[in-house]
Amino acid sequence: MEEIRICPNHGFYRGEKCKCGYRGELILEKEKVEKLGRFISGLLRHFPQKFNLEIDKNGWVSFNALSRIVSKKYRWANKWIIKALIYSDEKKRYELKNDRIRARYGHSIDVELSDLPEAEEKILYYGTGEEEAYRILEIGIKPVNQTFVHLSTTVEKSEEVARLRTDKPIILKVDAERARKDGIRILKANDYIALAKEIPPQYLEKL
């Protein structure tokens, strides 16, 4: 996790220097970025009910309500700090719109996210370990601890994801175009991640 700073020309960013080379004012130290990120992602993805945070079927919560809960836990975290975290997030984990906020992926609670755009990629990728890959080719990709399966839009990204769990990634190709034609909804979470409830084996092939 990197610190958050602010550049007068480009706004909030992560790390020492902005993309323009300017070393902006420090907004939040690394440790706090990590704590805040973990708590907010937990609230939006895993345990909103634990804090009585009302969440709708598409994963949206009131930004005010979320800020109140967050500032109670971390006195130093006001709305501006929370926005700094969200706007500087390079993985585009969150979406903030009309005073509501949600996570765009990574949920373990039951959400539909049905207002996310459809993914348009013809081919998507899924990286996994060797043993798992053969099982998946038999039974398809099913979510394990998450509500959706997370597919990658590029081979590189799928490999990156798989390397978190295995030294020998196997990449599976998902025929997203055919799956869509057959009525499977595939949603676009960000430039790198697409979501589906499940991908049956007939759309999968080893790369």
Using the rule CB under 5 A, which residue among 15, 22, 74, 121 binds Zn ion? 22
Asked whether position 7 contacts Zn ion by CB under 5 A, the answer is: yes
- Residue ranges in 178-197 that form contacts with Zn ion under rule CB under 5 A: none
Ranges within 130-169 binding Zn ion (CB under 5 A): none
**Contact between 10 and Zn ion per CB under 5 A:** yes
What are the angstrom distances between the C-alpha of 79 and each of 41, 59, 72?
Answer: 16, 20, 12
Give the total of residues touching Zn ion (CB under 5 A).
6
Minimum CB distance to Zn ion, residue 10 (Å): 4
Q: Which stretch binds Zn ion (CB under 5 A): 15-23, 31-39, 63-71, 157-165?
A: 15-23
Q: Using the rule CB under 5 A, which residue among 11, 16, 17, 20 binds Zn ion?
A: 20
The answer to the question of residue 9 lying near Zn ion (CB under 5 A) is yes
Least separation in angstroms between residue 7's CB and Zn ion is 3
Q: Is 104 exposed, middle or buried (0-12, 13-18, 19+ CB in 10 A)?
A: buried
| Contact residues for Zn ion, defined by CB under 5 A | 7, 9-10, 18, 20, 22
